[in-house]
Amino acid sequence: MKHNALLFVALLCVLLATGSCKKDDPVIPNEEELITSLVYTLTPVTGGAPVVFTFTDADGNGGLPPVIIADTLQANTSYLGTLQLLNESVSPPDDISAEIAGEAEAHQFFFSVQAGLNATVAYADFDGNNKPLGLATTLTTGNVSEGALTITLLHEPDKMAAGVADGNIANAGGETDIEVQFTVKVQ
């Protein structure tokens, strides 16, 4: 019994000894897939200063709330829209839009315009199957109005489903990678 008691004490010591070792610092993962920022740049077709909408959440899902910057559009004007997706948690920032363009068949952006907002968005770029992608668009405003514009990026949507090629998200399926909403003023 004495012998066994000794063994226990020895075991306890070993455990306590290992206990004093600190756990190594974890390696902070390189969040290369993260999308921190969406920049929707609208340049008037007729020329002029571009209007820029940005959604930035630098620290990802947790942490601080995102910063949303909206701008004002001119009534009855056509704009050329370009979407840029960035991962600004790494430096230099990663251009995620290039990754999306490379996998165009597996992605599609959708632009949903709230009833009150007098504007339409049309696709200006297409994937290898001639289905819309949405990194490039044309946005046309109507009369003075105000409302929400929701931009959604779906991963692996069913691009053959009814209405999807026209920008209708209802039958698209897939998983949402991005869903951001801007309040747009047309004046």
In the complex, which residues of this chain contact another protein (CB under 8 A)?
1, 4, 7-8, 11-12, 15, 18-19, 22-23, 25-33, 35-38, 55, 57-66, 89, 99-100, 102-103, 106, 152, 154-156, 158, 173-180
Nearer to another protein, 19 or 92 (CB): 19
The least distance separating another protein from the CB of residue 20, rounded to whole angstroms, comes to: 10
Nearer to another protein, 76 or 176 (CB): 176
Nearer to another protein, 4 or 130 (CB): 4
Instruction: Tell me if 178 sits within 8 A of 66, measured CB to CB.
Output: no
What residues contact residue 103 under an 8 Å CB cut-off, 6+ apart?
none
Nearer to another protein, 50 or 158 (CB): 158
Per DSSP, 13 falls in state: H
The least distance separating another protein from the CB of residue 26, rounded to whole angstroms, comes to: 5
Nearer to another protein, 39 or 80 (CB): 39
Name the 3-class secondary structure at 80.
Answer: strand
Phi, psi of 172 (to 5 degrees): -75, -30
The least distance separating another protein from the CB of residue 22, rounded to whole angstroms, comes to: 8
The least distance separating another protein from the CB of residue 147, rounded to whole angstroms, comes to: 18
Amino acid 29 reads P
12 sits in which H/E element: helix 2-20
> 147-173: buried (b, 16+ CB within 10 Å) or exposed (e) per residue?
bebebbbbeebebeeeebbebebeebe
Q: What is the largest CA-CA distance in the chain?
A: 95
The least distance separating another protein from the CB of residue 52, rounded to whole angstroms, comes to: 17
Length of the chain: 187
